[in-house]
Amino acid sequence: MGKIEWAMWANEQALAAGLIYATGGIVGVAGQFRGWQFAAFGIAAGVFVCLLEYPRSKRGKGTSVERTGQYCFTVCVNAFGPLTRNYYVRAFLHAALCVPGGFMLATVLGCVCLGIASLIYLSAAIHGEHWEPILPRTEPPKRVGDSIKEPPQNPPPRPPPELRRKKADKLETAAYDNPMSVTVNE
């Protein structure tokens, strides 16, 4: 497993954990369970984690596959700079967010999944990975040289006429007209 980028798996795990956290929270609030406040927190934390994890990072090596419509999320997440770029911060954030989920049955599963995601992110951070935004490349399109738009005004420079003349027997295959008439045996 030499070159696994742990962050890719951590990202999938965290996204799933966010969904599970939010779903557990919705059930807890809708059913008005005891401790529904924790469930409400679970919804907020779950949604936040989903928004944070939705944009995939650019891979260190290889082609990155974007999620559908992730560009706006990329821009938002990128705006926070080192807070979101650094995986130690993310690991700690997920660990902190998951703790309140442990106090209520409906959100326990989300809590544990988010905790696991936090551990995988920690592993990614230890391996020196960090988040890179996938931004569309904005290199300027290959510009055709300006001179091509207009035909040349002058003929190309040529050696003086005496040197340009072709022999008579090669007149047919010559690419240009002789500057002076030639006859055989010259």
Partner 1 sequence: MGNFAANEGLSIFVILVWLGINVFLFVHFYLAFLVERYYYTRVILGHALSWARAPAACLNFNCMLILLPVCRNLLSFLRGSIQYCSRTAARQLDRNLTFHKLVAYMIALHTAIHIIAHLFNFERFMDSQLMINSSYLPYVLSQIGNNDNRSYLNPIRTNETNPTIVMFTTIAGLTGVVITLALILIITSSMEVIRRSYFEVFWFTHHLFIVFFIGLVLHGVGRIVRGQTIESVKVHKPDECHSRFEDWGKNGTDCPEPVFAGNPPMTWKWVVGPMILYVCERLVRFYRSQQKVVITKVVMHPSKTLELQMKKKGFKMEVGQYVFIKCPSISQLEWHPFTLTSAPEEDHLSVHIRIVGDWTQALYTACGGDKTVVQDAWTLPKVAVDGPFGTASEDVFRYEVVMLVGAGIGVTPFASVLKSVWYKHVQENKNVFTKKIYFYWLCPETQAFEWFADLLQSLERQMMEKDMSDFLSYNIYLTRWKDAEAAHFRVQYEAEDDPITGLKQKTRYGKPNWDNEFSAIATQHPGSKVGVFLCGPTALATALGKQCISHTESGTEFIFNKENF
Closest CB 186 distance from partner 1, rounded Å? 34
Of 91, 98, 113, 125, which lies in the binding site for partner 1, with binding defined by CB under 8 A?
Answer: 113
Is 95 a residue that touches partner 1 (CB under 8 A)? no
**Chain residues 46-75 in contact with partner 1, contact rule CB under 8 A:** 56, 59, 62, 65
Residue 100 is a binding residue for partner 1 (CB under 8 A): no
List all residues 6 or more positions away from 161 whose beta carbon is below 8 Å from its beta carbon. Answer: 179, 180
Is 16 near partner 1 (CB under 8 A)?
A: yes
Length of the chain: 186
Biggest CA pair distance of the chain? 115
Answer for which of 7, 21, 25, 28 binds partner 1 (CB under 8 A) is 28
Q: Residue from 109, 119, 134, 171 that binds partner 1 (CB under 8 A)?
A: 109
Count of residues engaged in binding partner 1, rule: CB under 8 A: 33
Site residues for partner 1 per CB under 8 A: 1-5, 8-9, 12-13, 16-17, 20, 23-24, 27-28, 31, 33-34, 56, 59, 62, 65, 102-106, 108-109, 112-113, 116
